[in-house]
Amino acid sequence: MQIIHTISELRNILESQTGIALVPTMGNLHAGHVHLVELARQQAQCVVVSIFVNPLQFGANEDLENYPRTLDADFEKLEAAGADIAFAPNIKEIYPNFDAATNDLGQTMIISAPPISKELCGASRPGHFDGVATVVMKLFNIVMPQLAVFGKKDFQQLFIIRELVKQFNLPIKIIAGDTVREPSGLAMSSRNGYLTPEQKAHATMLHACLKEFVESIQQGCGDYTALEQVTAQTLDNSGWLTDYVSVRSARTLLPASKEDKQLVVLAAAKIGNTRLIDNIEFATKANN
């Protein structure tokens, strides 16, 4: 595996390659990322994995400074997973107009994600999906892959990236990787590393609550708003600070109506200072 830090070096190498897949990451890799790399490996001749902690997608009071940076361990995992190239640029390489010391964007051009990006995670993380769309567009333009792999755990992100590709007519196939979970059901996340052992045990409740939510719908409960409120309350009563619990159309990500049969229930909640997200996509069996 080659480790590359600059765009020019990467472009030189990729010039002679066909069948390129990109797996964008922010590093601190876990089994969920490895699964995405393996999916890419099955479908492409050349697998590029980017590792870049994107300052544009972090809010002022978020964990940009503390976000775990574990490059050497990441490179080892990528090598073992069969990646061909690890692309780990610095901030100036990606955002030459951005002043990392003062967080001043200067003349940086940013993509404005569609209105759905202001809901769910976007409601409490203003600008987050503009930052994601911008860096992903840049990475697409740098690598020019035929396909790119993203995880379903970040369901809203995946939705917005699919829109990015559709609306900017990018010739890139987006592949979605299933969420990888701990045996306890907890979704793998780089932010799980912030949890104490007690918090980690308690964090399994998020997925359990979403499973109950889905079961209630499958058993015929058609009052989605009440279910959302009860689930958020259950989490809050157990010490979480719930951001949202919301059932949406999996196709449009708009609030689910009775006509929608392909649904996704999504949640974000804080345990201590750590914000976790999870979701379950499902087809309604019930005639609600």
- Structure-block tokens of residue 115: 């209105």
Instruction: Supply the minimum distance, in Å, between the C-beta of residue 52 and ligand PAF.
Output: 7
The residue count for binding ligand PAF (CB under 6 A) is: 10
Which residue, chain included where needed, has tokens 């697998």?
A: 47
Taking CB under 6 A as the criterion, the residue among 135, 137, 148, 266 binding ligand PAF is 135
Q: Which of 5, 30, 33, 207 is flagged as catalytic? A: 33
Taking CB under 6 A as the criterion, the residue among 4, 10, 21, 24 binding ligand PAF is 24
Taking CB under 6 A as the criterion, the residue among 54, 117, 134, 179 binding ligand PAF is 54
Taking CB under 6 A as the criterion, the residue among 63, 93, 154, 163 binding ligand PAF is 154
User: Which of 84/130 has CB closer to ligand PAF?
Assistant: 130
Measured CA to CA in angstroms, residue 210 lies from 53, 126, 186, 206, 216 at distances of 29, 25, 11, 6, 10
Instruction: Supply the minimum distance, in Å, between the C-beta of residue 273 and ligand PAF.
Output: 19
Is 132 a binder of ligand PAF (CB under 6 A)? Answer: yes
> Catalytic residue at 30?
no
Stretch that binds ligand PAF, among 130-138, 167-175, 218-226, 237-245 (CB under 6 A): 130-138
User: Which of 20/26 has CB closer to ligand PAF?
Assistant: 26
CA within 13 Å, CB half, 261: 3
Instruction: Supply the minimum distance, in Å, between the C-beta of residue 139 and ligand PAF.
Output: 8
Which residue, chain included where needed, has tokens 């949406």?
A: 248
First to last CA, the chain: 52
Q: What is the largest CA-CA distance in the chain?
A: 57
How deeply is 109 buried, as exposed, middle or buried, from its count of CB atoms within 10 A (0-12, 13-18, 19+)? exposed
Report d(CA 179, CA 262) in Å as an integer: 18
How deeply is 151 buried, as exposed, middle or buried, from its count of CB atoms within 10 A (0-12, 13-18, 19+)? buried
Taking CB under 6 A as the criterion, the residue among 25, 216, 246, 279 binding ligand PAF is 25
Q: Which residues are catalytic?
A: 33
Q: Using CB under 6 A as the criterion, which residues of the chain lie in contact with ligand PAF when the complex forms?
A: 24-26, 54, 57, 132, 135-136, 154, 157
